[in-house]
Structure 1
Amino acid sequence: MKRRNFISLLGVSATAGVIGVPGATLARVQEVTLQNGESQLVADVVIAGGGLGGFAAAMSSLRNKQTVILTEETDWIGGQLTQQGVPPDEHGWIETHGATQMYRDFRNAVRDYYKKNYPLTETARNNSLLNPGDGSVSKLCHEPRVALAVLNNMLAPYISSGKLVLLLEHKVIKASVKGVRVQSLVAKSLRTNRTVTLSASYFVDATEMGDLLPMTGTEYVTGTESKQQTNELHAPEVANPNNNQAFTACFAIDYVAGENHVIEKPRDYDFWSNHVPQLSPPWAGKLLELHYSDPKTLKPKKLGFDPDGRKMDEVLNLWNYRKIINKDNFAAGTYSGDVTIVNWPQNDYMLGNLIGASEREFNKHYAAAKQLSLSLLYWLQTEAPRGDGGKGFPGVRLRKDIMGTEDGLAKYPYIRESRRIKAVFTVLEEHVGAQNRALVAKPGEKNIAAPFYDSVGTGYYHIDLHPSCDKVNYVDFGSLRFQIPLGALLPVKMDNILPANKNIGTTHITNGCYRLHPVEWSVGEAVGLLVHFARQKNVTPREVREKKEFLAEFQHFVRSQGIETEWPKS
């Protein structure tokens, strides 16, 4: 084979480095021409999936002088925050604790982007905790494109220096494995169908559904574990590997009073407008109505919809829930109305399972989920009850530009659940669930999550499982501020592949609090640091946890990089 500067394939140059020597890093990503004429890219680490976990893994690797190849199926990095169209779901301490410093730097950069580039009001510009949309789900509800711009800016120096190769619109389709080590991956361009082989010392599965796990022989589980398997308080009596949470095709809308923006009646509208989810316990009625099952009690609960953004007595106005632009934060005339993201109970798609689906099945269910979302939009425009007794809001407008797609729907489905590695350590409900923890903890520890001696991060979210593809209604209950154990990032068998998304060692239940934006980021950042540390010490990631001196040194290194490993006592 012949090694050459990395120019011909993607326009980034590279210089020769040392491959296969412990601790040695390549100066730049390299292109190798194989004897059959095919191209092979070589880096210190290959990361499949450009979501928040993959992005954070790339950044923490890059800042520690590792070279990186990062693949992404769509043309946007950022995962659930950008291409899936979901403003950050965060906890109340996010401004100061429970996330990495880099995540908080990202959040501050989003605010700075608005202040430098948008015509804000003086009040908004002077607000150090600016929330552009003032949505109730987060203290930083903002546009997907702004997040994308900030993320791209963070990667730009590494791309131009050849330390990072970003392969957009590429999907990993094959892996070469020898024993307990992955040798290489093959990625296919979704535009040209050309393939490229990707080689490295380490590989990271940051895909949305853990796609690398089956193709690399990394042992994994899916769906719901039984009470006998995990002894979790809320686990069912019978395991069901096909029981995964609903996914959603998100979209953005604004409202222009007096105008008519009603879309053509969707093909499947008659089906969805009459659809009643068949769940246990039962759903509240038709899916396209202003009610749902209260996630905690499962009793019918009313919702409201008023695109003028008014607060409503005793009900949530869905318009305000994920609002990403509040026009009052901007100079008069900048926006004709507020902009909000539709990721509601009414467009959760429950009729199919994407985990392990063939490409044909995936496309079939995603197309159906899009029909559901378009049907919801049409229902809002024509049938949703108004306060004056009328029906429909024709001024509700689909904002295709927000999602950057021709159909106005997100570039990729919002995935809540993935394949999960069989891990050296699995986080159970008894570790983080408030009620279960109270039953097993020592006196004085009932109100704190289980402490993990191998903690490499922190996070918080309540345990939130949406209705599933196998007819299980919400599972939603309190959790405790938790740590991220290193053992949950380590596959039981494989040596050089690590998870960095929703595919870590949790159960179906505990995935419900480890799956949100800042935790996924924290997992990815820790994984990038683990790759660097393991390569530097010439040990496996498992040995980092097993040997006290390595673990102590690694945790010190993690903390030095701006990652908290425990919550404050108070």
Structure 2
Amino acid sequence: GDADLILSAPYFIDATELGDLLPLTGTEFVTGTESRTETRELHAPDTAKPDNHQAFTVCFAMDYLPGEDHTIEKPRDYNIWKNHVPDLTPPWPGKLLDLTYTHPSSLQPRELGFSPTGSEDPSKFNLWNYRRIINKNNFRAETYPGDITIVNWPQNDYMSGNLFGENETDFEKHFEGGKQLSLSLLYWLQTEVPRYDKGYGWPGLRLRPDIMGTIDGMAKYPYVRESRRIKAVFTVLEEHVGKENRALITGKEENKAQDFYDSVGIGYYHIDLHPSSGGDNYIDFASLPFQIPLGALLPQRITNLIPANKNIGTTHITNGCYRLHPVEWNIGESAGNLIVFALSKNISPAGVRENPNLLNDFQTMIQRKGIDIRWPE
């Protein structure tokens, strides 16, 4: 059989997308949705669902070359995805491969537009422009034959299973499922999507494997929205950062989230939970400009492993605003600096938080490096 590989070091940082080091190291963690009894959160469900994870997305890039036909081979699972209706509460308005989706905050059906030529009903949001990374008109002629857009849309959110949980084959199984969904979306756009001119499909849409650096044109790794999360010394709850829940706690409208004495960074994004594998539709509501507490980077028991992105001490709900890339980058920077500082002082990371003078010195150090730890008054 395979021999065990044992790695030893004073400290490890878990910068994996899914918190893969947590089970490997025996670090206690939680997954999925906590119950309202556990967290007292306004938007938490009555019952915990550890297997209820936000959808992930297998992104891809495409451009558009009018007059050409770049239609891909019909994907293996196209007939499945073409007819797939997500089983969600509140209900999804129809098939997933459709231009009508659930608006995240109102939860009402909303019709989108799609036209790579830009000729579309201006009252409808044109998905082509949503994550467009190249507008050829911004460059010298012949630089790009067409615009390039990244497809990370409601239509390729994969909610039919989780990347981790039951067994080690989950990742490959559902990553492949996500690829089939994204390829099916592309094929549908090339052949069947309704056009503003009453036609169907845009065969000039061209998959761009060179942009993704892969043979199949799909991203090298899924876009993950939810990870394993450490059982932390301090867990960020909705009452700390959610606008409505915070007002219930303080009795007044707030313009900033809970102040954390041990802050090691800041972030801001509304609480945005995509449809989930457990059948929840969007959960999307206002948050407040927040801080990243050092206590959320400290496991309760393990002393030499530090999380560095979505695997910190948040809940299913608050992960919805801490999961954004700029926040993750800040978490990673602070995690790395924490290890450097702890080693220089010959003290544990938890000891830095517990000692007011050392905590102040650490916060001063990261601020000098350009990491803001408080929002301006």
TM-score range, shorter chain: over 0.9
Give runs of aligned pairs for residues 80-159 of structure 1, distance below 5 A.
none
AA matched with 1:384: V
Tell me if the contact between 1:438 and 1:447 (Cα under 8 Å) persists in the aligned partners.
no
1:501 to 309, 322, 334: 309
Give runs of aligned pairs for residues 333-412 of structure 1, distance below 5 A.
333-412=142-221
Give runs of aligned pairs for residues 9-408 of structure 1, distance below 5 A.
197-310=6-119, 312-408=121-217
AA matched with 1:304: G
Give 1:561 shift.
1.1
AA matched with 1:515: R
1:377–1:537 Cα change, 3 Å: same
Give the structure 2 partner of residue 79 of structure 1: none
Give 1:228 shift.
0.8
Give 1:325 shift.
0.8
1:486–1:380 Cα change, 3 Å: same
**361-370 or 520-529, which moves further after superposition?**
361-370
1:434 to 243, 247, 252: 243
CA distance in structure 2 between the partners assigned to 1:260 and 1:532 by the alignment: 55
The structure that is strand-richer by fraction is 1
Secondary structure of the structure 2 residue equivalent to 1:532: helix
1:228–1:394 Cα change, 3 Å: same
Alignment of 1:533 onto 2:341: yes
AA matched with 1:509: I
Give the structure 1 partner of residue 259 of structure 2: 451
Alignment of 1:513 onto 2:324: no
AA matched with 2:282: Y
Give the structure 1 partner of residue 363 of structure 2: 555
Give 1:361 shift.
2.4
Give 1:196 shift.
6.3
The runs of at least 4 aligned residues of structure 1 exceeding 4 Å deviation read 193-197
Secondary structure of the structure 1 residue equivalent to 2:24: helix
TM-superposition CA deviations, 1:259-302 (whole Å, max 9, x none): 00011111111111011001111001000000111111211111
Tell me if the contact between 1:257 and 1:395 (Cα under 8 Å) persists in the aligned partners.
yes
Give the structure 2 partner of residue 492 of structure 1: 300
Give 1:311 shift.
6.4
AA matched with 1:503: N
CA distance in structure 1 between the partners assigned to 2:6 and 2:41 by the alignment: 42
Give 1:446 shift.
1.9
Secondary structure of the structure 2 residue equivalent to 1:324: strand
TM-superposition CA deviations, 1:516-535 (whole Å, max 9, x none): 11100000000011001111
CA distance in structure 2 between the partners assigned to 1:347 and 1:442 by the alignment: 41
1:568–1:309 Cα change, 3 Å: farther
Tell me if the contact between 1:310 and 1:317 (Cα under 8 Å) persists in the aligned partners.
no
AA matched with 1:533: F
CA distance in structure 2 between the partners assigned to 1:323 and 1:404 by the alignment: 18
1:220–1:554 Cα change, 3 Å: same
Give 1:464 shift.
0.5
Give 1:476 shift.
0.5
Give 1:211 shift.
0.8
AA matched with 2:68: E
TM-superposition CA deviations, 1:483-504 (whole Å, max 9, x none): 0000000001111100001000
Give 1:368 shift.
1.3
Give the structure 2 partner of residue 542 of structure 1: 350
CA distance in structure 2 between the partners assigned to 1:237 and 1:559 by the alignment: 41
AA matched with 1:403: M
Give 1:442 shift.
5.5
Give the number of equivalent residue pairs: 376
**361-370 or 202-211, which moves further after superposition?**
361-370
Give the structure 2 partner of residue 95 of structure 1: none
Give 1:199 shift.
2.9
TM-superposition CA deviations, 1:205-230 (whole Å, max 9, x none): 11111111112111110000111111
2:279 to 447, 471, 496: 471
1:457–1:473 Cα change, 3 Å: same
Tell me if the contact between 2:209 and 2:215 (Cα under 8 Å) persists in the aligned partners.
yes
TM-superposition CA deviations, 1:392-425 (whole Å, max 9, x none): 0000010111001110000111111000000011
Secondary structure of the structure 2 residue equivalent to 1:553: helix
Tell me if the contact between 2:93 and 2:102 (Cα under 8 Å) persists in the aligned partners.
yes
AA matched with 2:74: K
AA matched with 1:566: R
TM-score (norm 2): 0.97
CA distance in structure 2 between the partners assigned to 1:466 and 1:218 by the alignment: 27
CA distance in structure 1 between the partners assigned to 2:249 and 2:142 by the alignment: 58
CA distance in structure 2 between the partners assigned to 1:442 and 1:269 by the alignment: 52
CA distance in structure 1 between the partners assigned to 2:31 and 2:123 by the alignment: 38
Tell me if the contact between 1:432 and 1:480 (Cα under 8 Å) persists in the aligned partners.
yes
Tell me if the contact between 2:14 and 2:307 (Cα under 8 Å) persists in the aligned partners.
yes
TM-superposition CA deviations, 1:37-95 (whole Å, max 9, x none): xxxxxxxxxxxxxxxxxxxxxxxxxxxxxxxxxxxxxxxxxxxxxxxxxxxxxxxxxxx
Tell me if the contact between 2:42 and 2:238 (Cα under 8 Å) persists in the aligned partners.
yes
Give 1:195 shift.
8.4
CA distance in structure 1 between the partners assigned to 2:325 and 2:47 by the alignment: 30
CA distance in structure 1 between the partners assigned to 2:212 and 2:230 by the alignment: 31
Give the % identical residues.
66
RMSD: 1.4
CA distance in structure 1 between the partners assigned to 2:93 and 2:102 by the alignment: 6
Give 1:312 shift.
4.1
1:423–1:276 Cα change, 3 Å: same
TM-superposition CA deviations, 1:219-271 (whole Å, max 9, x none): 11000011111111111111111100011111000000000001111111111
CA distance in structure 1 between the partners assigned to 2:11 and 2:120 by the alignment: 51
TM-score (norm 1): 0.65
Secondary structure of the structure 1 residue equivalent to 2:42: coil
